[in-house]
Structure 1
């Protein structure tokens, strides 16, 4: 299904639900949009970008407040949301790839079930990896001159979204030692700024908001993006960062790195699960159809605003936004990987970091 088809489906849903929307009135109420990360990362910027836009489109123009519940790489907040059944439209929850990956890998800390939640909006994102200036000066479009360097990376955890960069660096033959336990990618950036980490990556919104300035000031060197998917499922340059090479390009230029085979297929599977549909907004289980339709229509109105493409590109990047049926499809894609990719990653985590997933 193409993006245009998804958009048409979502618009049709919004039109069909017109008669029920009048039954939902959020006047004088506060909508809490809970983000299971710290306030310094890309998910924070994503929710803070959409919150005022959503407020203008919901009936009664409620105040939409973004709240943060970091802990255990987002599983703390997700486990909490699983227990919520307040479907009156005053609670929204936002997930990221770091919430999806523990679910995909059967992390024992996961007590949440995506199938129970009601997706109303999903949006893709990208990611940019960058190096400290000293080591960045050795980067020539390949990792050939970086293989003898010991890098430090601030990581949320071995089963989080950081799988994508950690596996990519491993495939490039780089020595990257993760320091696990940070509460959000923004905290990883702060480690990099303080000199406690020598390599980092940020999702697009956070990179645009902070890390791009580091590159412009000469305090960091952009290395690669994870890329984006074209309509045929091929990895192409990220439209938000067209001048930065993709991991695929860097891999092709690096001795010993292959863009085919088990490692590549596994990396790509988790990239697809973690980035093209990375950030998803959910209503709690048990939410009525009327409230669901109201949120679908509100997000559709946000997406349809004539200035949306321009302002979103500058804030969160140039990526598709899905609502209604499109959000449901995106959620399924983001929470599904093949058994082979899953087995490969689980075995690699055990060998590389001693992480055993029961």
Structure 2
């Protein structure tokens, strides 16, 4: 699927989702029950903020107004939690699981630790997101919209792993000619931000919810300088400025202003393919295998009600950003597009990972 069709199909699927939102049979009643929404990351990152934002809204929308509790199962860059969820079967509709691009990328790359299969799960909601990279105050003074003044600096970056969503910033910095040394092994992007705050890292990136939740305070305090966002897709599949951060240049803009960085060719095509897989439908909520259609339809209808709230866009803009929310058929299409990249993009990234980080997944 080309990028133009990708963007347009998600918009179309958003409208189509309304056609399947009405339950086929009577709604499931969750009165007096507790729903566990499991997130395979630490409680400090963007996925935690995403789930914590939606949890009370979902509670209000589900029949019986159950308590929705967000629980965390970090480890192995989210593959630990995803492998656990793969083994779960439907019991009563009280288990929900949330993934992000850091769960999708190991699946896309054939990471041997992956024992989960997305097609076995039931997506009920998906949202897009963005990301912002930022520098420490001292090095930020050398940023002029290009990376030309940053090429002689040795940066330290707290990373979950090169095969996770961190692939997007790591490859971007590589294309800009920057020397960024990742310290692998953190459990979530929030832990990377804490490293930056303590001075143990000198460059960082957060997804939109994480950036809005904490990193903007660092910028306001003068201890962090925004460098670039990853951008967003327009209807023709072109990268444009992120609607949540319209004043921050995109990686494409910074690349075009930097000597030796090209927005065409194998590296660019691979970066863009994984950006598309990781961000326009970056966070997805699933019900486990075997969930009856009645329960799936009840969740779809509830998330549709959340999206239809008159105050939803205002609330979302402040906490998770200005991005599309896909429900039902839209969530299914978003999941498919988020777990598909071309063989050429995959081959390029696998070769880069082995050359730069000694990571072999073959």
Asked if these proteins are the same fold (TM beyond 0.5), I'd say: yes
Q: Distance in 1 between matches of 2:223 and 2:137?
A: 6
Q: Alpha-carbon deviation of 1:279?
A: 0.1
**1:1-358 alignment, distance < 5 Å:** 1-2=8-9, 4-15=11-22, 17=23, 20-22=25-27, 24-358=28-362
Q: C-alpha separation between the residues in 2 aligned to 1:3 and 1:90?
A: 28
Structure 1 alignment gaps of length 5 or more: none
Following the alignment from structure 1 to structure 2, what is the Cα–Cα distance between the partners of residues 190 and 263?
Answer: 30
Paired with 1:29 and 1:225, the residues of 2 have a C-alpha distance of 40
Q: Which residue number corresponds to residue 5 of structure 2?
A: none
**Conserved? CA contact 1:252–1:258, under 8 Å:** yes
Once the two structures are TM-superposed, the CA of residue 3 in structure 1 deviates from its matched residue by 5.1
Distance 1:2 1:288 in 2: 27
CA positional deviation for 1:87: 4.4
Q: Distance in 1 between matches of 2:92 and 2:232?
A: 36
- Residue 31 of structure 1 contacts residue 62 of structure 1 at CA under 8 Å; is this kept in 2? yes
RMSD, matched Cα: 0.9
Per-residue Cα deviation, 1:208-239 (whole angstroms, up to 9, x for no partner) = 01001101110000000000000100000000
Deviation at 1:4, TM superposition (A): 4.9
Equivalent residues of 2:40, 2:98 under 8 A apart = yes
User: 1:63, 1:278 → 2: CA distance?
Assistant: 25
Structure 2: how far apart are the matches of 1:161 and 1:155? 9
Counterpart-to-counterpart distance in 2, 1:302 and 1:21: 20
Shift of 1:9: 1.3
Shift of 1:89: 1.1
Question: Which deviations, in whole Å up to 9, do the C-alpha atoms of 1:245-282 show, x marking residues without a partner?
Answer: 00000000000000000000000000000000000000
Q: Aligned to 1:231, what secondary structure does the other structure show?
A: coil
Q: Is the 8 A contact 2:39 2:48 kept in 1?
A: yes
CA distance in 1, matches of 2:242, 2:12: 22
CA distance in 1, matches of 2:107, 2:266: 22
Post-superposition Cα deviations, 1:147-195, rounded to whole Å, max 9, x if no partner, equal: 0000000000111000000000000000000000000000000000000
Q: TM-score w.r.t. structure 2 length? A: 0.97
| Structure 2 counterpart SS, 1:120 | strand
In 2, the alpha carbon distance for the partners of 1:61 and 1:231 equals 37
Taking the aligned partners of 1:278 and 1:329, their CA distance within structure 2 comes to: 13
Per the alignment, residue 4 of structure 2 pairs with none
Distance 2:352 2:16 in 1: 40
